Amino acid sequence: MSKSTFPEVFSLHKEIALITGGGTGIGLAMARAMVAAGARVVLVGRREAELAAAVQKLGERASYLVHDITQLDSAAALVDQVSQSVGPITCLVNNAGIHLKKPAVETTPAEFELVLRTHILGAHALVRAVAPGMMERKHGSILFTASMASLFGIPLVIAYTAAKTAMVGMVRGYATEFSSHGVRVNAIAPGWIETEMSRKALDGDPARKVKILGRTPMARLGAPADIGWAAVYLTSPAAAFVTGVILPVDGGASIGF
């Protein structure tokens, strides 16, 4: 393949991506990579200051909307607003989520429900809102941010584990329903990635950091850009025959010992 045509298979220059939780961390890294690949991105989150700062960094191909994905009945209005202001959404990235670290027996039903509402019901509301248009146009990609908790047991995060494991089933279920209509559905399962949040957590718990690195064959944390470029691949024409996949980007943690 020639140099002039090879990059085109990874190009997102015709794509409009809605990224939830896109103002910081992994969501911002995915937005940055998608913009670099040519996409227009719309970041969604609850904190306007973070969203505005992110858009300023990303440039003219980025915009944002303040939105709480747990307000399930407003998903369709959000999608309509993006479609009218930017264009039809061709890529939905369900990345927003919350974390809860507590022993299982201390996790209340209300806390459990909120985690599920954010990761699962909020994501499903957006899928319901964007998928019909994607299927009508015979073109679209839906991407979820899964987790190592989707793949093996991690203590003290039972609600998060339940949500991320349910997400894997959703990816496969959506993929079987949507893929014949030109809409692919996949997920990335990040390993331990060096973000501001992870640095704060691990700097205060050196034993945990040693444990994480000890079970990661590459013996280091990943960079946010590692997730960003994986998202570009799964959204791009290069992955045209890839659907229903949970892609670990984890330095080998999910297969190491």
**In this structure, is residue 232 part of a structural domain?**
yes
3-state class (DSSP) for residue 240: coil
pLDDT given for residue 198 in this prediction:
79
**In this structure, is residue 149 part of a structural domain?**
yes
pLDDT given for residue 235 in this prediction:
98
Domain limits at 44?
A: 11-248
Q: In Å, what is the CA distance from 201 to each residue of 198, 206, 253?
A: 5, 9, 19
pLDDT given for residue 58 in this prediction:
98
Q: How many whole angstroms separate alpha carbon 101 and alpha carbon 45?
A: 22
| pLDDT tens sequence for the chain (257 residues) | 445 455 899 999 999 999 999 999 999 999 999 999 999 999 999 999 999 999 999 999 999 999 999 999 999 999 999 999 999 999 999 999 998 999 999 999 999 999 999 999 999 999 999 999 999 999 999 999 999 999 999 999 999 999 999 999 999 999 999 999 999 999 999 999 998 777 877 887 888 889 889 999 999 999 999 999 999 999 999 999 999 999 999 999 999 87
Q: Look at phi and psi of residue 252 and say left if phi exceeds 0, alpha if psi is from -120 to 50, else beta.
A: left
pLDDT given for residue 120 in this prediction:
98
pLDDT given for residue 5 in this prediction:
54
**In this structure, is residue 130 part of a structural domain?**
yes
Q: How many whole angstroms separate alpha carbon 247 and alpha carbon 190?
A: 8
Give the Cβ contact number of residue 205 at 10 Å: 12
Give the Cβ contact number of residue 197 at 10 Å: 13
The enclosing domain of 189 has a CATH number of: 3.40.50.720
**In this structure, is residue 62 part of a structural domain?**
yes
**In this structure, is residue 255 part of a structural domain?**
no
Count of structural domains within the chain: 1
pLDDT given for residue 224 in this prediction:
96
**In this structure, is residue 188 part of a structural domain?**
yes
pLDDT given for residue 246 in this prediction:
98
Q: In Å, what is the CA distance from 189 to each residue of 103, 151, 181, 199, 227?
A: 23, 8, 25, 19, 9
Q: In the β-sheet with 91-94, what is the strand arrangement from edge to edge?
A: 62-66, 40-45, 16-20, 91-94, 140-145, 183-190, 246-249
Cα 178–chain centre separation:
19
Active site residue 160: yes
Catalytic residue among 64, 160, 174, 233: 160
Q: Element (H or E) spanning 8, and its range?
A: none
Give the Cβ contact number of residue 255 at 10 Å: 9
pLDDT given for residue 1 in this prediction:
40
3-state class (DSSP) for residue 233: helix
**In this structure, is residue 89 part of a structural domain?**
yes
Q: Is the pTM of this model over 0.85?
A: yes
Q: In Å, what is the CA distance from 62 to each residue of 1, 67, 133, 165, 254?
A: 31, 16, 22, 31, 33
**In this structure, is residue 23 part of a structural domain?**
yes
